[in-house]
Amino acid sequence: MGTTATYLKKRSELETYFDRTAAEAWAKLTSDAPVSGIRATVRAGRDAMRDTLLSWLPEDMAGLTLLDAGCGAGQLAVEAARRGAHVIAVDLSGTLVELARERASELPMSGSIEFHVGDAFDPALGEVDHIVAMDSVIHYSADDIADILAGFAARARRSVAFTFAPRTPLLTAMHTAGKLFPKSDRSPAIQPVSEKGLRRRISAHDGLQGWAAPRTQTIKSGFYFSQAMELTAP
């Protein structure tokens, strides 16, 4: 799962973008440093989304394991470790992982975090209780997302929570307009996805049989617009 040609091509684009082009911007966005009005709305939206995903996890995570798939600067990983979880934090960007490791080393937590650079599908990472993928599958098509979720479900004992870009006329128009820019001038495109279509693919996927989707939450803050969904194990 998660190794189709389109998945691998997109993964390579994301690795290049976040490790070489956008690392400095993301370091600033995920800090307390002042940012512009637009980036401030994105920061607020991401904070609200992180709080939503954390609210779906147990308050006491002592003895539990969490895979933070696409950990970025490590904010969610730190909060889960503060609840007592052992967190496996993975990101394609070595630059962001090093930033996350440095920040986490200065913070108190009752749990622990192990950081990895690479793909969250690495079988060496093993099985976990919970998986969270915050804004890390938003660049993939609905078909690829379903495959990714099936891959996660094969390794998660309790739940998989993720976010996607909900399809709206505005997001679809922005996605189309973004293709007009030269490739060198644009970040990897976000793929707007219909919730109805995504649920249909999840229900039909052999690797997701019996998994339920009890909760969903949309967060909109200026230029940040994302929808969270939780899948729970049968």
Q: What is the pLDDT of residue 33?
A: 64
The torsion angles phi and psi of 233, rounded to 5 degrees, stand at: -70, 150
Q: What is the pLDDT of residue 43?
A: 87
Q: Which helix (H) or strand (E) holds 177?
A: helix 169-178
CA distance 137 to 135: 6
In a structure prediction context, what are the per-residue pLDDT tens digits for the chain, which is 234 residues long?
445 667 666 556 655 555 555 556 656 556 666 667 777 888 899 999 999 999 999 999 999 999 999 999 999 999 999 999 999 999 998 988 999 999 999 899 999 999 999 999 888 899 999 999 999 999 899 999 999 999 999 999 999 999 999 987 665 554 444 443 334 434 457 889 999 999 999 999 999 999 999 999 999 998 899 999 999 999
Number of CB atoms found within 10 A of residue 125's CB = 18
Q: What is the pLDDT of residue 186?
A: 41
User: Are the C-beta atoms of residues 164 and 136 closer than 8 Å to each other?
Assistant: no
Q: For helices 5-16 and 142-153, give the axis angle rounded to 10 degrees.
A: 90
- With a CB cutoff of 8 Å and minimum separation 6, the contacts of 169 are none
User: Are the C-beta atoms of residues 81 and 105 closer than 8 Å to each other?
Assistant: no
**Terminus-to-terminus CA distance in the chain, angstroms?**
19
Both tokens assigned to 22: 């956008």
Q: What is the pLDDT of residue 19?
A: 54
pTM, to two decimals: 0.83
User: Are the C-beta atoms of residues 205 and 182 closer than 8 Å to each other?
Assistant: no
